[in-house]
Structure 1
């Protein structure tokens, strides 16, 4: 195992790179700002690679641990570590940061330095969330990550960007306040410790566990987002710039789901069992009902936004089956959704940059003028539909397989939603891409350039790799998932 502080580097390299980009000043130095941002993003990604290559797959505990005293008076520490559950998300986050910096290379022309710096800083803060083992440190990163995304939507978004950014911030802040109360209770119960790993071992009665679980549920459900606290997401996606939509779907939605595995299940295991039917019900509503909502959307971004809610429903469904197949399938779905949803939003951004419309009715026959783009867009649409041999199939298949062991009708409802997913994805693709050239805007389209092809190519390779050969992704999480399930099962017995 590496002796270098890899987790600190994964957090602070993008944050410091963002500070250097900000220092380039106004838009006269935009080329320098873009180059510094890309270099910072690439370096931040490279330092995460040893996390995977040096990872001990037989060890379900925390690895690459860093521990230093931060605020000794309150026993608050700078405590970092990753296990098989969190490691892949650090790498995914760093990879997506390269994508979003490249995605805005030619499109963003105003406040270029500030735009790129916001993404770099947010990348570092999100890595802090995935690696924090101290409750206060986690909460600081958890809250601070809202600020760059709020600015990205509010400054570089669409006509209703201020409303969307404000709604996003209020929803997530409300959940976070309940989360803070839960952290204070755990601090008192543990005798003055903010160690998340120590909180996992606390002997808490069922009554307090239920209150803790509900506080966690509200905080993380807003982030996922789960039905019925999902309404901020379509507005945020529609108004966000392309890069904002990519990082929101690919990474930000994963923070809430990750919270369930780091807090809800291990800290309140008995309450998790008692209230699992509630979470399963909410997840099925998201999977089935939101799929039908996506089917009637006229705006491509809104359609993919609702699609994200439905796909994340599979994630929360998998978590509360209490089986290795379900949780690992949910984790695979989270990583896959990062690739596929990021690619879908980038494809929509490619068309929007040329036509300045996201309405499905304004397109038609795009394949005639953009054949390379149409081929790649087809791959991601199929992955979004859950086509076998793409990453979109693997996670959903594992969750459905786990659901069969839990309850046939739960599995049936989840599986039927894949038909709806294929319907809205392929229906959108048909109307936008196939047919005769619909209007002069489509007739004047130019195919993707080298930059756009490189971005979509990277995402295509990741989507196919995970779909054809998912073992490298599943083997790293297996020991950690088994340890978590053993902890939850033992707690239930006691």
Structure 2
């Protein structure tokens, strides 16, 4: 840790949240005259790389200056009155729970901007693309940084419009239908969530998330908590996405451009599970305890359903789309996150937060790789890729094949890589759930979840066999390009962090555990 003054930390957090918005506005302006010899499209794409790079640098400095001896304490806090009549405040802060998600969001957005500079998706002017990307980043970062329920809702909603347009204008086949499905599902869920947030704020007399978490539900009756958790939980479950509210996700991923899929899986899905941890668990614990068994049941159903859907897509003759398969895998992986949260134990919640970050790294890498395969072969259809001599990436593009195999084994939870720890801790949490929860029921959920890990391994290894292995390249066939320099630059950080998190999980758990302990205790520790 480097000693950085609180005022500088406050400035950094404000820059991280508001900086992308300023950058989005600047992206829509004409290119500066000094960029002679550079096309306006190149100029605005470079602008996106610079702005996201500055935000990433600010997030790294914030993480370095963060007091790692007190990760349960809100740091870099700003608290300014905004709407006095409603006691709505511009309240920002970061602790051990939100810091990893801030850095992950800043990293993935920068890598997407860098990738797009060299591989801009087909569509309208890059001006709109860069502006939407930056607005999306700002909304996501704000979701993880705000400490007021009204601001949380506004930030939560802020990401919907840019993601809608990224899918609808720069997506692939079926993009309009997928974009509409995405926006309708998430908006309807958000309307219900808003009612729950307002109920808590009105009944408790404050929208301040820190004060509400410290009160730990003591100012709310059990019936109010139950209604609030049901309403808020529906909105968060749609965004997570939890089975059976997940059906928008495969269509959105299949139609979205590569960077859209990376951000959707890497950061947007985390907003839902973060809301469960930051709002539902500490503010309405009695209501959460009522719904915890149901949440766990839906979670393990999602684990099994997602895995079976992936197995069906991976089978020969089913015309399975590789992007769609990875999307369904996210339903299963987020099921482990929800299972960990449902246990209401430090072990389970820490596992959920670890799995959140691991999923962002690994699935973000997978979507980058699948996008690269689709660019080279013109399709993501598994039967087409595996037909005749097969895609045979090991023989035709060995580095790309090796990276795809690496990401697959990381996703299936191989020990020593990031995907292992979160799922294991979530299962451990289910082995001994919080007091008041049925242990036999959670032992059943644990067993079903453990079986889901076997199914996950089955479909991912099947994908590796069909895409990476195959016959020799026929004579006269045009060779495909292996990993390019810009791809190497965009993917290497994700590979390195996947290995680091797998070999040294204490880096992340040391941040989250004290904050989780305090959150579950209602701020009394």
Instruction: Give TM-score, length-normalised by structure 2.
Output: 0.90
Indicate yes or no: 2:299 matched with 1:279: no
Aligned-partner Cα distance in 1 for 2:475–2:149: 56
Return the alpha-carbon distance in structure 2 between the equivalents of residues 375 and 463 of structure 1: 15
What CA distance in whole angstroms lies between the structure 1 residues aligned with 2:358 and 2:82? 36
- Aligned position for 2:102: 90
Distance in 2, matches of 1:113 and 1:332, equals 35
1:8 aligns with 14
Higher mean C-alpha displacement, 201-210 vs 49-58: 49-58
Give 1:159 deviation, angstroms.
2.2
Q: Which of 397, 419, 425 is 1:398 aligned to?
A: 425
Pairing 1:417-432 to 2, within 5 Å after superposition: 417-432=452-467
Partner of 1:330: 352
Paired with 2:449 and 2:478, the residues of 1 have a C-alpha distance of: 40
Structure 2 counterparts to residues 131-210 of structure 1, below 5 A: 131-191=145-205, 193-200=206-213, 201=215, 202=217, 203-210=219-226
2:316 counterpart residue number: none
**Structural RMSD (CA):** 2.0
Equivalent position to 1:232, from 245, 248, 255 = 248
Distance 1:354 1:325, change over 3 A: same
- Show structure 2 runs of 5+ residues with no match: 33-37, 314-319, 434-441
Q: Which of 38, 41, 46 is matched with 1:35 structurally?
A: 46
In structure 2, the residue matched to 1:468 is: 503
Confirm or deny that 1:296 pairs with 2:316.
no
For 2:377, which of 349, 352, 355 is the aligned residue? Answer: 355
* Greater mean deviation of Cα atoms: 304-313 or 388-397: 388-397
Counterparts of 1:244-393 in structure 2, within 5 Å, are 244-297=260-313, 298-363=320-385, 364=390, 365-393=392-420
Query: Are 1:446 and 2:496 matched, yes or no?
Result: no
Q: What's 1:113 paired with?
A: 127
Query: Residue 376 of structure 1 contacts residue 456 of structure 1 at CA under 8 Å; is this kept in 2?
Result: no
Preserved CA contact (<8 Å) 1:93 1:126: yes
1:97-133 deviations in whole A, cap 9, x for unaligned? 1111122223325411211221122111111111111
Aligned counterpart, 2:493? 458
For residue 65 of structure 1, give the secondary structure of its aligned residue in structure 2: strand
Q: Is the 8 A contact 1:325 1:398 kept in 2?
A: yes
SS of the aligned residue for 2:96 comes to coil
Judging changes above 3 Å, is the alpha-carbon distance between structure 1 residues 25 and 235 closer, same or farther for their aligned structure 2 residues?
farther
Q: State the distance in 1 between where 2:27 and 2:489 align.
A: 23
Q: Please give the alpha-carbon distance, in whole angstroms, between the structure 1 residues aligned to 2:209 and 2:451.
A: 38
Deviates more, 1:105-114 or 1:24-33: 24-33
Contact kept? 1:18, 1:120, Cα under 8 Å: yes
SS of residue matched to 1:228: coil
Structure-1 residue corresponding to 2:140: 126
TM-superposed deviation, 1:155: 0.5
- Give how far 1:438 is off: 7.0
User: Aligned-pair distance for 1:453?
Assistant: 1.3
Farther off after superposition, 182-191 or 384-393: 182-191
| Alpha-carbon spacing, 1:440–1:157, altered in 2? closer, same or farther (3 Å) | farther
Deviation at 1:440, TM superposition (A): 9.0
* Aligned equivalents of 2:348, 2:373: Cα separation in 1: 36
Asked whether 1:50 is paired with 2:64, we answer no
CA distance in 2, matches of 1:14, 1:441: 48
CA distance in structure 2 between the aligned counterparts of 1:180 and 1:459, rounded to whole angstroms? 35
In 2, distance between residues paired with 1:111 and 1:403? 49
1:77 is paired with a residue whose SS is: strand
8 Å CA contact 2:348–2:430 kept in 1: the answer is: yes
Matched residues in 2 for 1:442 and 1:151: separation?
Answer: 38
Distance 2:228 2:481 in 1: 54
Deviation readout 1:313-351 (Å, 9 max, x if unpaired): 000100111221111111010000000000000001001
Q: In structure 2, the residue corresponding to 1:69 is in which secondary structure?
A: strand
Are the structure 2 counterparts of residues 214 and 303 from structure 1 closer, same or farther at C-alpha, using a change threshold of 3 Å?
Answer: same
Any conservation in 1 of the 2:193–2:235 contact (CA below 8 Å)? yes
Aligned residue for 2:81, secondary structure, equals strand
Distance 2:183 2:41 in 1: 29
Further displaced range: 79-88 or 403-412: 403-412
Asked if structure 2 preserves the Cα contact closer than 8 Å seen for 1:366 and 1:442, the reply is no
Aligned equivalents of 2:44, 2:268: Cα separation in 1: 24
TM-score where L is the length of structure 1: 0.95
Q: Match for residue 24 of structure 2?
A: 18
Deviation at 1:357, TM superposition (A): 0.5
Alignment: residue pair count: 489
Instruction: Report the 3-state secondary structure (helix = DSSP H, G, I; strand = E; otherwise coil) of the residue aligned with 2:482.
Output: coil
**Deviating more after overlay: 342-351 vs 50-59:** 50-59
Structure 1: unaligned runs, 5 residues or longer: none
Deviations 1:348-395 (A, max 9, x none): 100111222010112221221101111111111110111111101111
2:436 counterpart residue number: none
Contact map agreement 1:57 1:477 (CA 8 A) in 2: no
